[in-house]
């Protein structure tokens, strides 16, 4: 009898927690609307397009989520600093805003499996045969000095590779577009914009230097929501939708992404 009372008491204590976990997903379905935070100005993940509507990889993923939920989408543009406060306070239901996962952020929110590639890499014309850092031998590489790309490439570049360091991204990009350097080393989002603005250059990803994929932010404690989002991501990976969006916005096939 004592054991029965103890078990009953524990179950009663856990009941409110269990109910609260199902609350957000159920409320979204009942209300018929999902509020999703996307980047305010961080192309190609999210920014205001020519039609004055928000567009980008994250925006398209948010549209797919609303479609699968069968609800209306309310896009809420946010800055980097607003992402976690907006989620924790309930101003948004999800954050899809090119956000990396780390232990510090995980103290405040939960993270889904990775849904988008975010990396530093080497980019060049498609007719240039490069598959690894060793293939940079004898080539002129342009990058922005003092950046993560500079530090990482310096560790692996061949001795006869000429690394040309510029003062900022604009100068680095200008040099590459003007063909003053053979290879552009930068983040994939920068490279995607360069490729979109200069289609004649035939830019493609040659190899990845350092990966830092993006994860969706889920309000802490919302287990049902987290599980649904992870199933959504798996479904869109297997179905090819995320691959198509990756090609559309990043100019590359979707790479293997980590799962949590």
CATH topology of domain 19-118+212-250: D-Maltodextrin-Binding Protein; domain 2 (3.40.190)
- % residues pLDDT > 70 (the chain): 92
First to last CA, the chain: 41
CATH of domain 119-211: 3.40.190.10
Quote the mean pLDDT of the chain: 90
Residue 2: predicted pLDDT: 64
Which pair of structure tokens corresponds to residue 144?
Answer: 């922005």
Residue 235: predicted pLDDT: 98
Q: What mean pLDDT comes out for the span 197-207?
A: 93
Q: Is the pLDDT of residue 13 over 60?
A: no
Q: Where are the domains of the chain?
A: 19-118+212-250, 119-211
Neighbouring CB atoms inside 10 A of 128's CB total: 15
Q: What mean pLDDT comes out for the span 7-11?
A: 53
Q: Which residue has the tokens 């054991």?
A: 3
Q: What mean pLDDT comes out for the span 1-22?
A: 51
Model confidence band, residue 21 (pLDDT cutoffs 50, 70, 90): very low
Cα–Cα distance for residue pair 40/72, rounded to 1 Å: 20
Residue range 53-62, pLDDT digits in tens: 999 999 999 9
Cα–Cα distance for residue pair 131/208, rounded to 1 Å: 9
Q: Is the pLDDT of residue 15 over 90?
A: no
Rounded to two decimals, what is the model's pTM? 0.75
Span of 31-40, 80-89, 146-155, 232-241 with lowest mean pLDDT: 146-155
More confident residue, 190 or 73: 73
Residue 19: predicted pLDDT: 43
Cα–Cα distance for residue pair 196/181, rounded to 1 Å: 19
More confident residue, 238 or 41: 238
Between β-strands 47-48 and 119-125, what pairing exists: parallel, antiparallel or unpaired?
unpaired
Cα–Cα distance for residue pair 118/255, rounded to 1 Å: 10
Domains 19-118+212-250 and 119-211 equal at CATH topology level: yes
Contact 166, 172 (CB under 8 A): yes
DSSP assignment, residue 102?
-
Q: Is the pLDDT of residue 240 over 70?
A: yes
Residue 182: predicted pLDDT: 98
Q: Is the pLDDT of residue 256 over 80?
A: yes
Model confidence band, residue 169 (pLDDT cutoffs 50, 70, 90): confident
Residue range 123-156, pLDDT digits in tens: 999 999 999 999 999 999 999 998 889 999 999 9
- Selection from 44, 36, 9 nearest residue 96 by Cα: 36
Q: Is the pLDDT of residue 173 over 60?
A: yes
């Amino acid at each position: 009898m004592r054991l029965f009372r103890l078990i009953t008491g524990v179950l009663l204590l856990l009941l409110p927690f269990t109910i609260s976990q199902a609350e957000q997903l159920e409320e979204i379905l009942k209300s018929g609307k999902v509020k999703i935070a996307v980047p305010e100005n961080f192309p190609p993940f999210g920014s205001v397009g020519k039609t004055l509507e928000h567009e980008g990889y994250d925006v398209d993923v948010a549209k797919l989520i609303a479609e699968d939920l069968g609800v209306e989408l309310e896009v809420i543009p946010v800055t980097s600093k607003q992402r976690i406060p907006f989620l924790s306070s309930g101003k948004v239901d999800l954050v899809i805003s090119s956000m990396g996962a780390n232990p510090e952020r995980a103290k405040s929110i939960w993270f889904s499996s990775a849904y988008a590639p975010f990396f530093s890499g080497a980019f060049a014309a498609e007719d240039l045969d490069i598959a690894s850092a060793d293939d940079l031998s004898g080539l002129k590489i342009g990058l922005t000095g003092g950046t993560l790309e500079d530090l990482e490439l310096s560790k692996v570049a061949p001795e006869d590779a000429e690394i040309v360091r510029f003062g900022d991204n604009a100068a680095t990009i200008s040099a590459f577009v003007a063909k003053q350097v053979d290879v552009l080393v930068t983040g994939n989002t920068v490279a995607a914009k360069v490729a979109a603005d200069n289609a004649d250059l035939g830019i493609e990803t040659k190899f990845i230097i350092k990966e830092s994929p993006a994860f969706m932010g889920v309000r802490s404690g919302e287990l049902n929501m987290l599980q649904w989002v992870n199933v959504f991501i798996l479904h869109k990976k297997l179905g090819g939708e995320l691959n198509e969006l990756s090609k559309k916005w990043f100019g590359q096939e979707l790479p293997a992404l980590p799962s949590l």
